[in-house]
Amino acid sequence: MPSISDKTEVGLPLKNLIGLLGIAVTTAWGYFGIIERLNNLELRATLFEADLLKSADQKPIDNEQYMLLEFTSSQVEKILKQLDDMQNNKVNISRLQKDMEKSINDIEKLKDKVRANGNH
C-alpha cells in the first residue's frame, strides 16, 4: 500500500491544475454571488413587509380624513344627480316654452276668428 505524505508527487499537467483551480474559484464565486442575491431579496422582502405593516397602522387623523373624503364624495354624487335633473328640466322648459308660444298663437287665431264672426 502506497503511503501519502507531503512529499508525494502527483502526475498532473499544469494546464489541468490551472483549469481545476479556475473551476473551483468560479464555482465559489458563483455560489457566494447567489447567496448574496438571496440575502438581498430576503432583506427587501422583510423591509417591504415592515413598511406595509407600518403604513397599515392608521392614525385618528387619517380616519377623520377618510371620513371627510367619503362625505365629500357622497356630496359630489348628489350634486351630479341634481345637475342631471336640471339638464332634463332645461329640456322640459324649452319644450314648454315652444308649446306656450304655439298655444298663444292658436289663441290669437281663435280670437281673430271670433272677432271676424262677430263683425259679420
pLDDT tens readout for residues 44-59: 999 998 887 777 666 7
Q: 52 and 78: one domain?
A: no
Instruction: Examine the domain organization and report whether 67 and 111 are in the same domain.
Output: yes
Average pLDDT over residues 91-98: 86
Cell of 45: 422582502
> Residue 105: pLDDT above 70?
yes
Q: How far is CA 9 from the centre of its chain?
A: 70
| 50 and 21 together in one domain | yes
Residue 106 lies in a domain: yes
Tell me which residue range forms the domain holding 24: 13-57
Residues 67, 116: one domain?
yes
Residue 120 binned pLDDT confidence (cut-offs 50, 70, 90): low
At residue 75, does pLDDT exceed 90?
yes
User: Average pLDDT for residues 28-52, to the nearest whole number?
Assistant: 94
**Sorting pLDDT into bands at 50, 70 and 90, what band is 1?**
low
Mean pLDDT score, 92-116: 90
Domain count, the chain: 2
- 84 and 118 belong to one structural domain: yes
* Residues 49 and 105 placed together within one structural domain of the fold: no
The reply to whether 38 and 70 lie within a common domain is no
**Three-state helix/strand/coil letters over 6-30:** CCCCCCCCHHHHHHHHHHHHHHHHH
**Residue written as cell 481545476?**
20
> In this structure, are 53 and 71 located in the same domain?
no
- In a domain, residue 78? The reply is yes
User: What average pLDDT does the structure give for the chain?
Assistant: 86
63 sits in the region (left: phi over 0; alpha: psi -120 to 50; else beta) called: alpha
Residue scoring higher pLDDT (64 or 120): 64
Q: How far apart are CA 105 and CA 101, in angstroms?
A: 6
